[in-house]
Amino acid sequence: MKLFIPQNYQSILDLHQTELAIKLVKDTFQRFLSSELRLLRITAPLFVLKGTGINDDLNGFERKVTFPVKDIGDQEVEVVNSLAKWKRIALANLKIAQGFGIYTDMNAIRPDEEMDNIHSLYVDQWDWEMVISEKQRNLDFLKTTVKKIYEVIKRTEFVVFENYPEIRPVLPDHITFVHSEDLLELYPDLTPRERETRYVREHGAIFVIGIGGVLKDGQRHDGRAPDYDDWITPTLDGYHGMNGDIILWNPVLEASFEISSMGIRVKRESLLEQLRLTNTTDRISLEFHQKLIQGELPLSIGGGIGQSRLAMFYLRKAHIGEVQANVWPENMVKACQEAKIQLF
């Protein structure tokens, strides 16, 4: 069991206040996000047909929750891991114009997740996707979009403070950008997670660029599926990758705290190259990949933003189970009870 117990932890809000505050966070954040990025809220599936290539494969080894459906001849469907690829199809079907996009509530079940303070079997996030032009497929546009999202994060933090003055804002005025190659150069003897922790402790909020590609030491900073984010295309800065993670410093857990993964999405050329590099060219014949290769899907940028993660951060909670109902290991429940951490 991986569990961190903050010393002398005491929740600022009681259970009733917490429930009201969670609603405040979710209502406020999605309103600000949709306005800032010009996103239309749409409904989304809980599961998709198996074998279409639409589901997110994450790192490629995680099991999916799968079941047969009686009325379609026991054909199997999979509970989504994310909506990274489904959203591009939705952009095409809805004929969303360039400069506009969509967002939705994504709910996933990840049975292989190692449960700790910030991970559970259930994932809830805002998945968003926006149509862009070929000229916008660059690092500058990615950074501009990240800054807009960070402003939404900051404004929501202030709304929480207005309603609960005992929860004082802690985020810096600006988010700091750093490439995973730079982190490797700064801290060559540390693991990728340790590099993030060291850097975000100093800066408060960072965006780590370049997730998925192989670094100079022959390792990846972190895994990323080959068929949604573009992590291979070189940029004018001399680096590979047009994607990354928004990471905050969590003062309760005294640790790095990822709240969003996002990036400019693959086009035909980068998709084919990333499939080749990851030995997954067998996916080319799948429905999603054929749509992209045939030019039926728009160029886009998109990502996911953790709902429970944000609520946990804003409300200064020590465990994601304080803002999310779930199933937990018995020894974790006991340890949390002893530390006055109330899990749902």
- Distance between CA atoms of 174 and 177, rounded to whole angstroms? 10
Torsion sign across C-alpha atoms 144, 241, 232, 221 = negative
For Cα atoms 88, 224, 62, give the angle at the middle one, nearest 5 degrees: 100
What is the distance between the alpha carbons of residues 120 and 324, in angstroms, rounded to a whole number?
A: 9
Strands 255-264 and 101-109, bridge-based pairing: unpaired
Spatial contact of 249 and 301, defined as CB atoms under 8 Å apart:
no
Tens of pLDDT, residues 108-134: 998 888 999 999 999 999 999 999 999
Q: What CA–CA distance (Å, rounded) separates 187 from 179?
A: 12
Average of per-residue pLDDT across 124-150: 96
Predicted confidence at residue 31, as pLDDT, reads: 97
d(CA 63, CA 90): 25
Over residues 56-68, mean pLDDT: 81
Confidence class of residue 1 from pLDDT cuts 50, 70 and 90?
A: low
Rg (CA), the chain: 20
Percent of the chain exceeding pLDDT 90 equals 84
What pLDDT is stored for residue 6 in this prediction?
94
Active-site choice (261, 274, 300, 308):
261
Over residues 253-264, the pLDDT tens digits come to 999 999 999 999
Is the separation of the CB atoms in 69 and 77 below 8 Å? yes
Which pLDDT does position 112 carry in this prediction? 87
As a whole number, mean pLDDT of residues 254-280 equals 95
User: CA 303 to CA 285: how far, in whole Å?
Assistant: 25
Residue 68: both structure tokens together: 């047969």
| Mean pLDDT value across residues 298-317 | 97
Q: Shortest CA distance to 53 belongs to which of 281, 277, 295, 298?
A: 281
Q: How far is CA 159 from the centre of its chain?
A: 22
Mean pLDDT value across residues 103-109: 94
Average pLDDT over residues 314-328: 95
Q: Is 261 a catalytic residue?
A: yes
User: CA dihedral in degrees (85, 123, 276, 302; nearest 10)?
Assistant: 40
Q: Answer for the pair 343, 336: CB distance below 8 angstroms, yes or no.
A: yes
Burial classification of residue 8, based on how many CB atoms lie within 10 Å of its CB (0-12 exposed, 13-18 middle, 19 or more buried): exposed
pLDDT of residue 64: 87
* Percent of the chain with pLDDT strictly greater than 70: 99
Tell me what the mean pLDDT of segment 50-67 comes to: 82
Query: Which of 11, 120, 125, 324 is an active site residue?
Result: 125
As a whole number, mean pLDDT of residues 270-288 equals 93
- DSSP state string for 163-213: H-TTS-----SSPEEEEHHHHHHH-TTS-HHHHHHHHHHHHSEEEEE--SS
The whole-number average pLDDT for the span 314-333 is 94
In terms of CATH, what superfamily is 15-338? Bira Bifunctional Protein; Domain 2 (3.30.930.10)
Structure tokens at 171: 């985020």
User: Tokens in use for 80?
Assistant: 């989504």
The domain spans of the chain are 15-338
What mean pLDDT is predicted for residues 320-335?
Answer: 93
Q: Of 57, 230, 245, 322, which one is the catalytic site residue?
A: 245
Catalytic position from the list 110, 224, 265, 309: 110
Structure tokens at 212: 């998925």
Per DSSP, helices labelled H in the chain are: 15-37, 86-94, 139-163, 180-186, 192-203, 268-277, 287-293, 307-314, 330-338
Q: Which of 56, 124, 127, 181 is catalytic?
A: 56
Q: Which of 227, 209, 229, 216 is nearest to 140 (CA)?
A: 209
| Beta bridge partner(s), residue 65 | none
Residue 60: predicted pLDDT: 66
Model pLDDT for residues 169-200, shown as the tens digit of each residue: 999 999 999 999 999 999 999 999 999 999 99
User: What span, in angstroms and rounded, lies between the C-alpha atoms of 19 and 222?
Assistant: 34
Mean pLDDT of the chain: 93
- The predicted structure's pLDDT at residue 216: 87
User: Could you tell me the CA-to-CA distances from 151 to 95, 160, 197 in Å, in that order?
Assistant: 28, 14, 22
Among 155-159, 213-217, 275-279, 321-325, the least confident range: 213-217
Amino acid at 73: G
7-14: average pLDDT = 93
- Say what the pTM is: 0.94
Residue of 229, 258, 300, 324 marked active site: 258
- pLDDT tens across 196-243, in order? 999 999 999 999 999 998 888 888 898 888 999 999 988 777 778 899
Structure token pair of residue 318 = 């020590």
